[in-house]
Each structure stands twice: as C-alpha cells, then as structure tokens.
Chains A and B, each alone.
Chain A
Amino acid sequence: MPKLKPQSRFLLRGSVLLVCLLSLWWFLLLSPMLSMLKGAAGAFLLIQENPSGDWTLRVPLEKTLPATPEQPVAQQVHSIDFDIPRSDVIAFTFSLPVYWAIILAAPGVRRNLRPLLVGTVVMAAVEVAMLLVFAEISARGTAAQLAGGEDAVGKWARQFGGYLLASVLPYATPFVVALWLHRGLRTEIFPWSSAVEAPASAPPVDRAQGRRSKMRRP
C-alpha cells in the first residue's frame, strides 16, 4: 500500500475524527456543554432558559430613546432583553469538538496531549467571549431599532460583526488555535516555524561553524 502524503493523512484522519467527535457532541455532550456555557456566560449576563430550549438574555445597556409621536416623552433604557433560539446558541459550543478533531488528527500523537488540554481551556474561553460579543451586538442592534434612524455605518458594522460571529469565527477559530498551540502541525504547514523555534532548543553551535554561517550571509 503506497504511503500517503502528510496532507492526505491529515485530511483522512481529520475527516473521520470530525464525523466521530461531532456525532458524540451532538448526541451526548451538547446538553452539558450548553449548561456550562450558560453558567460561564451567566457571570456577565442574566440568562433564562425557556421550556422550548431558547435563551432569553438581558444585556445591561444605558441608552436614551428619543421622544416620538407615539411616545412623547424620552425614555431611559437600562437593559435590553431578547431571545436567542437554541439552534443559534448551539453554535457557541461546537468549536470545541472541531478543535479536538484537528489536534488528534495532527502528526505525533504523544505531542498532542498538552495542546489538547491547553486548547480546550482556550477554546472554552473563546466560545464564552463570542457569545458575550454576539449578545452585545444584538442588544445594540435592538436599541438602535428602538431609537429609530439607524446610521448606515453602524448598521454595516453590526452586520459585519454578526456575520463574523455567526458564520466565520465558530468554524475558523479551532483551526487558528490548533495552529497556534500545536508546534508539530504549525511546522509542517509553515516552514518558517521550524527555523524560528529551532535556535531556542538547539545546543549552541561551535564557533567555527558559527563563523562560517555568518560569512555566508549577505
């Protein structure tokens, strides 16, 4: 049987692990992970879970709503309440199994333990941060709608932030964190990583060799 290229091996192992770990997450880990996410984000926001599984978030936000023909007196708002469907909340937990799949598919099984543990903590923190930023963007969007007269730049910025948080970061972050924490994977893909990291661990070269290498430089 011909030996596979490292890229093909990584793709095959990664695909199989993604199917297995995402299935495990979907059927077993989802509810406990949602509870943990609620507990962690609950330190910053008031979160209530409805019987349907949707979340009601209360985001503290100080805003003065201007007077309108229907509401002749200006109103001071201290917080914004809004619902997030369960299907949207789930997106803030799924980066973790994706991260595990990438790390376990990376070359060097024995070297994977440390990035797996450190990365799990990092990814969990990133997921909580993404939910908090998403809540803040949604609250500001709701407040802008209530105030009326949304400015074009603000609307674009909220759409941009919302798009990044919903369609890009949950999928891309596990790969970025894996490349950041897994030295073996990083050096395989980016050739400069090995050159940067080698001097730190390598023993000092002898003087004659050092002089020769210095002379070769432009």
Chain B
Amino acid sequence: MTWNVTLCYHSNLIHIRPLRFVCIFVCSLLIGFGVLVTPQAQSVTGRFSRALVSVSHGLIQMCGGHATQNGAILRAPGGFAVEMRDGCNAVNVTILLCSAVLAFPATWRMKAAGLLAGIAIIQAVNIFRFVTLFYLGQYSMTWFDFAHAYLWESLIMLDTMVVFWFWVTRVLRAGAAPHAEA
C-alpha cells in the first residue's frame, strides 16, 4: 500500500500548481484588460502608440524611406496613411505575457527579467509589423486588410507564446523552477 499512498501525495501536491497558475493568469488578465478599457488608460496607450509611430518613422527614414508623421498617423508620399490605434500597439499581447509570467512560479528577479526582455521583443516585432504594413498598404489594400487583421495578429500571438516558453526554460535551468521550490 505504500506506493499507492506515495502516488496520491505526489499527485495532490503537483495538482495545486496548474490550478494556481490558471487562477492567477485569469485574474491578472481580467484586471489588465479591465484597466485597459478605462478612459485614463486609453489616453496613456494613445501616447504610447504615438511613441511607437515615432520610432517606426525614425527607422524608415534611417533606412532611406520616405514618410511623414502626424501624431499616431504615418503618411506615405503617395497619399496612403496608416494609423496606430488601440489594438495595434501590442498592448493586448503584452498583458497576456505579463499575466503568464506573473502566474508562473519563479523568483521576482526572474519575473522582472522575463517581463523586460519579453516586452522589448514583442514591441520590436510590433514595430517591424507596423513598418511592413505601411509598405504593404501602398501595394495592395486587400493584402493590407488580411495581414493587418489576421496574419500579423496571429504571428505576434505565436511570438508571445514562444517568448514565454523560452523564459520558462530559462527559469528551469536557473533553478528557480517550481520543482526547486517544492
């Protein structure tokens, strides 16, 4: 009977962690998105979007491209213009990543490092996405709609998942893993 008792004990112990992860993840997610739709947060994300457009504009000019910036709008010489609205600034996937990192059992130092690196990677990919959409829109509006609403959104979500996966692997290697805490 000994092995049976051992298995039950082991099983009960490790069942707690997935449940804890899911609870913290869902709560963080709801709080994050709940705050995001308030008018106060909207004005902050509006400023953030304008900053991202400034960086994209700077990159285009640095690479020899031509564009003019007006707030959160980037305009091509041919007349095509693209605006970075709420939902295009990758804040939603950033909230998803933050919730997952906060919910995963690791040291606060590892969590902070994961959040900083993860947000930087996601925003770098998002700026690349914005610049590619700016050029794609000048070529074809049909392709722009497809890439903007579906393809790039899915790719950024996939990137976010892989960033989290890399971070979890690093946490386990560093010994700050859930097994080490048990």
Chain A positions near chain B (C-beta within 8 angstroms) = 7-8, 10-11, 14-15, 18-19, 22, 26, 87, 90-91, 94, 98, 101-102, 156, 159-160, 163-164, 167-168, 171-172, 175, 188-193, 195-196, 199, 204-207, 209-211, 213-214, 217
Contact = CB atoms under 8 A, between A and B. Distances in A.
Looking at chain B, what size class is its interface with the partner chain? 35 or more
Contact of B157 (A22, A26, A171, A199): A171
A143 B21 CA distance: 38
Contacts of A7: 162, 165-166, 169
A207 B96 CA distance: 45
B37 A196 contact: no
B14 interface: yes
Interface stretch (B49-57, B71-79, B132-140, B142-150): B142-150
Max count, chain A CB within 10 A of own CB: residue among B21, B146, B162, B169: B162
Contact of A214 (B5, B150, B153, B168): B5
Interface string B1-27: 011111101110011011001000000
Contacts of A22: 146, 150-151, 154
Interface of B: 2-7, 9-11, 14-15, 17-18, 21, 33-34, 36-38, 87, 92, 96, 145-146, 149-151, 153-155, 157-159, 161-162, 164-166, 168-169, 172, 177-179
A90 to B, nearest CB: 8
- A interface majority secondary structure: helix
A19 to B, nearest CB: 7
A168 B161 contact: no
B15 A172 contact: no
